[in-house]
A and B are shown apart, each in its own frame.
Chain A
């Protein structure tokens, strides 16, 4: 017979549910502890205004992605926000069919791609991005793509923004 049937045990009562751990929310670092808690918060402000941007170093001219507050090449801290050219070219792509991250599982299978914008690597960037409403079979290397703004809905009611690629 189980011990708890033999005698009354002291209970430690826990909540019915434990909320989704923030480590599984892939967009949590936008505001680690509130707006402006990250030095690159303008990246997210610009997304909310419809612009995908990054930083270019005014000292040495290096175009970087992701944006940073100090240039890793010349240590300068005078950075300029620049718009990433809207149209780029598919460099490689796949479609995630198994093992999608838990928070976007409902969207699987979805296409994950790398696209090049501008004149990479001299004066352009190579970005990863998700693609929706398109299948692996419909794409080929070299296809023209555009970035667009993605609205992240939930968890909670805070509005957050990201970017994705769509075929031109």
Chain B
């Protein structure tokens, strides 16, 4: 397999934007093209667009060719829109990587976008219900907040995790978000403020939850040969895996505080790329809710099972701790425009490796990063590994 690198990265401001879905696409496109001025658009032969629910939020389908038109891309090799709900963005990166690695494509544009704030906000929120099994869990009102509230309740029950520890995740991510000019929320918060914010679904308060967000982000991926021509600071893709255990509905989920599919995915990824959890300098993880990040510390192997609460309490996930988790502010600060989130995570890794972030959230000397997306009610887990160092070979661990 050929080596693949990220050679360009661009992002829009995330938030409640006075901008249409198409405006966001164009803004992210301009940002990535401005980032890599010596790229000729004619060199882009493939396009992958991460978008979760454009049909529901902007009533538009067949979005990949629309993006091609808006950005002036003539595709000659591969084009698709990718959808795996909250991880649609990372899926777009994955298919661009594979298309280049196998030799079909040379240079691919990867763009993730979601416009979630519309004049029909209750429709936007109700649309999250069909991420679960709509006919069964959906009919019981199972949107994301109640599901993750149950995961939090079980983790507190099974392992003694506290509401204060949940709040500490938001405090950390809000601190880093305060140094991220693209983030939806750029204010620091305290544990008290998180605990006192409006109750959404106990034990989760408003500040335990990521937001309904508009935003887009884009990357240029290239083969090793093209990457050499285009940039001196490539970010190499080491590998990636996805795991789901035949699970979508409540009955298949087993214990909510155990994310077994993530545990297996992490083991698989580390063995594929030849690293251990302790080698990871930066972890961009899917903190859609504070509890998610705590369970992810455990399943990614940063601490023992059940000790995620203690891990944040002892500051181990801060820059300077065992591993810098979400130094860009995570989903909690950036907001969560579903299709853009996975691309935003890769954008953060690129900016970190290049040293192009404010010093307050810079992870100095970082060489290995992972990005974790989850989708749905944490049934499906998506992992990618990135490095400043060119991988020896890419054999997918076989």
Contact = CB atoms under 8 A, between A and B. Distances in A.
B134 A114 contact: no
A112 B251 contact: no
B127 to A, nearest CB: 8
Which interface residue of A125, A128, A130 has the most chain B CB atoms within 10 A?
A128
Interface string A96-130: 11111111110000101010000001000111111
B259 to A, nearest CB: 15
B63 interface: no
Interface stretch (B150-158, B235-243, B262-270, B305-313): B150-158
Contacts of B249: 65-66
Interface in A7-44: 21, 23-24, 26-27, 29-30
A95 B141 CA distance: 10
Given A66-B135, A127-B251, A128-B250, A101 B202 contact: no
Contact of A92 (B133, B154, B254): B154
Contacts of B80: none
B200 A129 contact: no
A27 B234 CA distance: 50
A110 B130 CA distance: 19
Among B129, B203, B251, chain A packs the most CB atoms within 10 A around the CB of B251
Interface string A129-144: 1100000100001000
A101 B134 CA distance: 12
Given A24-B126, A66-B251, A96-B145, 8 more contacts: A64-B251, A97-B202, A98-B145, A98-B199, A101-B129, A104-B141, A112-B142, A128-B137
Interface of A: 21, 23-24, 26-27, 29-30, 64-66, 72, 91-105, 110, 112, 114, 121, 125-130, 136, 141, 162
15 contacts: A23-B56, A66-B136, A91-B256, A94-B150, A94-B202, A95-B201, A97-B201, A101-B129, A101-B143, A112-B141, A114-B150, A121-B254, A126-B250, A128-B137, A136-B202
Interface of B: 56, 122-123, 125-127, 129-130, 133-143, 145-146, 149-151, 153-154, 157, 198-204, 206, 246, 249-251, 253-254, 256
